[in-house]
A and B are shown apart, each in its own frame.
Chain A
């Protein structure tokens, strides 16, 4: 990326009559970090200018910024002063103060300020390049062995403690034993794993938080006086760098155009639509959002449901049933398993993302037909995910479509993690590979991740979607999505797409790079298709910020991925994936890793996962990169991993002499990510 490329749209460039005093002041701030107070005033002035310029744009409805009256505008992009004065964790202020030209419209702790255009990439498949299958890199034998031994010790000690405990402290086992003629809710055997393994690591799970799950997050500190049986909140809070939330495009924000729109919608439409879609809970916002989703993913029609999990579990049974076959990737999400089990269809699994295994399975099931009767299957539905949440594997969509031509199965792609996160236009795996989305039968996805909302969608041809509207479980029985959530979806999605003809051309529209949309992606949203009261600020409606978010995410993903590999770690997944799993193997290292990351000067919170969410040996930490992270944030994570990795002996990837020093990685981030 050449340095002379257009400036970041997140940094509004406003050629406004700058007060000279301000200019002088901010040129001073170019020197290494000045006091928090000067930073605050610089930002608030810049922010005020941005607001003024925004209000100047002619609008048909009252400017939304007027509605955010609860807080003063200076609070909009920075924190309250007490937070600024205490920047010891390095999270409250950007590494580089903004120049006089840069006005950031986001709050740095929610969405990091990063103006350097070198740290941008496009998420796109290189034609001709094979799609990597899921490769599992084995650690040295001693790691495997010690992992097994760790589990062995845990299990043996657990059983010994149970054995002894039941004799000396029967009281603590009463709830696991039959009592007064009631069988225990959870027998000691069923709950062994939970009691003896998970409880030891409970400090890594269910951490309560507060505030926005953006670039940083506020942890509610807790302690456990009794080995994790109870957790007590201490009342203090810690701000930590958040590399765990599924906030791929950074739309988890309490400030900014989307939040303003949500506020407007709450005032206009309330918080609920009171009922199921078919029985009095439908609103015009649903219609708008569904049409927009259909356009976004490039399908004829779409439906929206109020929960991502239920989108799988309640709509799969409406498509397949007895006499049908569901072929499911072995690592598919629990919601897919739930749905297929409810459907009554026969289920077969194939090896994770392995086209060979899939084809041989297809040949077997089609030739054999239904079990025992050998009647042909009514339908075969293949259910896969676009991006796997624990592995970071990218679906081999070209391979699957090749098979689909020959074997005529229907294809359901769960894009929970890939929608928004992949592709030059953020439209998921099809976009990433440059494939027409209509070659897939059903695109399902969720709004919980990239869009910072909640719920899910299903897109496909109109006949099928109408069928699902009437015959899916949620149509008559599930609550409809609420207006604030719908608005967040519409606003964030429209800002990724850009809005064609957004009111009147504003001063920033000159900076808009023409969008090269293939025919399958019908490009920007039409203003007339959106609610009339939706009034996004120019940097959102032009699509510039959306594009910048996509490109920041693509850069951050590749940078973290490549950086970790160069440091010598074993990682899984595709380099374009914002999910980056780092293998820990030993269960004991999970807690240590978690704690060592959290206890750093810049606390970092991570997600650690182990058996049963993963195979026994491959315990891992899973990073979820976001567009909200700055390059410096990824540096921070890499530095932390480097240090912790040395202490915990985690570097078992590439050979020592091929590894790079952390400084070299940090200094050549752009080249590293772009290879």
Chain B
């Protein structure tokens, strides 16, 4: 309240000074005489009213100004040209091509992207070979793709709701099945509420700007995914970075932020820690209990992206909160992907009622996009039911992951940064030189702490791998595996657009739809392909 009266004071001062100017300008407006008479007579009766009306005018002007970005014309850099000169400049100007042609390597890689004919699943038929392959590339972690019960429910929903919702949630796009799925997700995780977005990728990049505004502080992991980077970028908040999956580094950064704030005596702003449950970039897993402890200690809010851990870890697939037995309420904004975790489409953010309601008005891709098709929402709800009632699915998945790691961990020309329980397994090439060098450099570097303002890891300068060569080698591995009937994929990156360039890797996606035998067989093929291709290298 005190703040509101102080903020009004300068407003009144401004009002008084601009009153006379306003009056002059006002007299020139058409129809102003009428209004003037009206104002004058009303002023005689009730001077307070005039002030109220003026506030209104100012409000109107302010909104008008806000809606436009002002032209730069007034800038001191403006050069005056004659019309003829402008015409010449226009004639001279030649733009770069809009979409440059792909390089030969990119083109070849695009052509090699596997295309599935018919349904995707553990053994899809591929368009390129016409044969089936064992699939360790697609996200079908819990084998929900192809589930007949889900398909039947989807058809029933289709017959009741049609396909598209034909409207954003605010304008008759909220179906009862959307509300049901939101409740199902919230109940499944144990949060107060949840909100559904119509695309997994766009979820986190809408959740972040809904809460984090200019001036707010974000402390984020250096290894976060591309989508989170985009969300942080659009939020325009102040960002500080901590070392990838290193909670000690996180504490250091939080300390330094707090010190900075105390020094500047800045106001209390919103502060967020943003990280992932299982990292898309490398499959590492965050230590959630410790993270929660830190977040409470420093009074930060936690935005946790569980895109790859929801529906894949925990006894019934509830994600990290189930795995570590942490109540999901302790995560302020828990973001997950319905598309990845439940083999449907869309994404969600679970949290308290306030957090969810706030996004219903402020989440850009929630407000300005059509809601997802009803049958996909029902499929996801059914997926949750299945996970809830069949914990053996998750057991099988974990067994398969263990079986795969047992084979891969013995291969010495590769390194696997992924957590042993991660359903995505990243395989990157171990540089022959750095095998011995790496521990040493790691031992040396703590002397020089990384710069929290830069998203680059501190050892970025020592990265010596040749991205292009490694991409090529790994693509050879992919093709070699495919020739043996196993479909795998590299982790595709947007080279040149990523904030931190990840080391090239192959990303395996485990599935409970394969038996342990099948998994072992497929992973052995991958291993042999790796050994064969990487062995040739030397």
Contact = CB atoms under 8 A, between A and B. Distances in A.
Given A155-B56, A182-B301, A479-B340, A348 B69 contact: yes
Interface in B174-210: 174-177, 179, 198-202, 205
Nearest to B339: A479
B463 interface: no
A478 B199 contact: yes
B172 A454 contact: no
A447 B35 CA distance: 49
A571 B233 CA distance: 39
Contact of B56 (A152, A282, A380): A152
A266 B158 contact: yes
| From A244, A307, A441, A474, residue with most partner B Cβ within 10 Å | A307
B155 A379 contact: no
A282 B116 contact: yes
A454 B95 contact: no
Contact of B492 (A252, A306, A475, A483): A475
B127 interface: yes
A622 to B, nearest CB: 9
A470 B164 contact: no
B93 A282 contact: no
Contacts of A617: 60
Given A259-B158, A342-B233, A453-B164, A266 B151 contact: yes
A443 to B, nearest CB: 13
A266 B146 CA distance: 9
Interface in B304-357: 337, 339-340, 343-345, 354-355
B376 to A, nearest CB: 6
Nearest to B63: A616
Contact of A210 (B102, B169, B176): B176
Interface string A228-245: 000000000000001011
B4 interface: yes
Interface stretch (B105-113, B395-403, B427-435): B105-113
A452 B1 CA distance: 49
B90 interface: yes
Interface in A205-226: 205-214, 217, 220
A149 interface: yes
Contact of B269 (A183, A279, A466): A183
Interface stretch (B137-145, B414-422, B446-454): B137-145
A272 B339 contact: yes
A479 B200 contact: yes
A552 B115 CA distance: 39
Nearest to B491: A279
B90 to A, nearest CB: 5
B113 A282 contact: yes
A53 to B, nearest CB: 23
Contacts of B162: 110, 212-214, 252-254, 259, 452
Give the secondary structure class of B's interface.
mixed
B301 A441 contact: no
B115 A282 contact: yes
A366 B87 CA distance: 10
A242 B172 contact: yes
Contacts of B55: 152, 155-156
Contacts of B370: 246, 308, 446, 448, 454
A372 B100 CA distance: 27
Nearest to B57: A148
A333 B369 CA distance: 10
A367 B199 contact: no
| From B7, B201, B270, B490, residue with most partner A Cβ within 10 Å | B201
Interface in B67-83: 67-69, 71-73, 75, 77-79, 81
B167 interface: yes
| From B75, B160, B179, B369, residue with most partner A Cβ within 10 Å | B369
Contacts of B174: 206-209
B365 A209 contact: no
A267 B172 contact: no
Interface stretch (B14-22, B224-232, B464-472, B520-528): B224-232
Give the secondary structure class of A's interface.
mixed
| From B164, B216, B268, B270, residue with most partner A Cβ within 10 Å | B164
A274 B138 contact: yes
Interface string B262-288: 000000111100000000100000000
A220 B369 contact: no
A278 B225 CA distance: 16
A477 interface: yes
Interface stretch (A77-85, A404-412, A559-567): A404-412
A280 B343 contact: no
B124 to A, nearest CB: 8
Contacts of B507: 279
A471 B176 CA distance: 37
B26 interface: no
| From B85, B95, B494, residue with most partner A Cβ within 10 Å | B95
| From A212, A242, A376, A379, residue with most partner B Cβ within 10 Å | A212
A268 B119 contact: yes
Interface in B474-516: 487, 489-494, 496-497, 507, 509
A1 interface: no
Interface in A435-478: 441-442, 446-449, 451-454, 460-461, 463-471, 473-478
Contacts of B438: none
Interface in A606-650: 607, 611-612, 615-617
A309 interface: yes
B158 A263 contact: yes
Interface in A59-81: 68, 70-71
A211 B160 contact: yes
Nearest to B269: A183
Interface in A240-277: 242, 244-247, 251-255, 258-259, 262-263, 266-277
B179 A366 contact: no
Given A454-B373, A469-B110, A378 B96 contact: yes
Given A185-B211, A185-B354, A466-B107, A209 B120 contact: no
A148 B56 CA distance: 7
Interface string A169-187: 0000001001011111110
Interface of B: 1, 4, 7, 31, 34-35, 52-53, 55-57, 59-60, 63-64, 67-69, 71-73, 75, 77-79, 81, 85-86, 89-90, 93-96, 98-102, 106-107, 109-110, 113-121, 127, 135, 137-140, 144-146, 150-151, 154-156, 158-167, 169-177, 179, 198-202, 205, 211, 216, 225-227, 230, 233-234, 268-271, 280, 299, 301, 337, 339-340, 343-345, 354-355, 358, 360-361, 364-365, 367-370, 372-373, 375-376, 379, 487, 489-494, 496-497, 507, 509
Given A217-B172, A272-B339, A283-B116, 9 more contacts: A110-B162, A145-B35, A198-B361, A281-B139, A284-B116, A362-B90, A368-B79, A454-B372, A466-B102
5 contacts: A159-B4, A210-B177, A245-B173, A278-B110, A454-B165
